Amino acid sequence: MKDYLPRSDLLAGRVILVTGASSGLGRSASLVYARHGATVALLARDADRLEMVYDEIVASGGAEPAMFPYDLAAADDRSLETLAGTIAHHLKRLDGVLHSAHHFYNLTPLELQTLEQWQTLMRVNLITPFALTRACLPLLKQAPDASVIFTGETHGHHPSAYWGGYAVAKSGLEALTRIWADELTSNEALRVNTLIPGQVATTLRTRTHPGLSPETLTHIDALMPWYLYLMGEDSRSVRGQIIECQP
């Protein structure tokens, strides 16, 4: 995929919602989607950092984004439906959703993880991505070519010790992807996939692998061809797939 060369106008005219847009993979994807013509709806908990991404997009000549400061940990059906309605009212359409927001505590044995921690991990990493996609489904179904991308995790795909509730939530996204793809087989204009970034130089990877030098990790920008490919029309036939960027 490193050889994928998208057209500069690959996402022209499209509206893409990105969660976790204030940092990491979400921020990078928001910038690259804007550079390829999309109007990006930026969603994250931290309004100040969200404004910085907004300013970067505008300064680089991208279409003016929309900003949605929103705490996914406090989401409910009504607020998510209001969010989808706001997108419909102001942006008139929705052609894609990238679920990049996540919540992580630390690496600990299962016996030390609490019910409260698991509830938050499930809500932010699995339940709200489902609920937000469901709320946006009417808009997505109206698009001529729409894509939903869930962000998986290596340790959800290959579970291992100490990743606990985070890994369980991320593995749930894989099941959710396959179920939704199966239910949407008759809708050729809407596809759902999960993308697993792998070992990337992000704040999360620094926390989980503090001994790794950032220079040994893949830079976020190197993965952007995957994010463009799955969001654009070139991947229309890719459905229900769990894709490891760095298998």
Active site residues: 166
* 159: phi then psi, degrees, rounded to nearest 5: -60, 140
Report yes or no: 126 and 138 within 8 Å, Cβ to Cβ. no
- The amino acid present at 208, given as its one-letter code, is T
- Buried (b) or exposed (e) across 86-101, using 16+ Cβ within 10 A? ebbeebebbbbbbbbb
Report yes or no: 196 and 157 within 8 Å, Cβ to Cβ. yes
Distance CA 98, CA 82 (A): 19
Tell which phi-psi region holds residue 213, choosing left (phi > 0), alpha (psi between -120 and 50) or beta. beta
Look at residue 71 and give its three-state secondary structure: coil
Distance (Å) of CA 224 to CA 16, 28, 82, 96, 174: 15, 8, 30, 16, 21
Contacts 24+ apart (CB under 8 A), 160-164: 161/109, 162/107, 162/108, 162/109, 163/107, 164/108, 164/109, 164/110, 164/113, 164/118, 164/121
Distance CA 209, CA 83 (A): 36
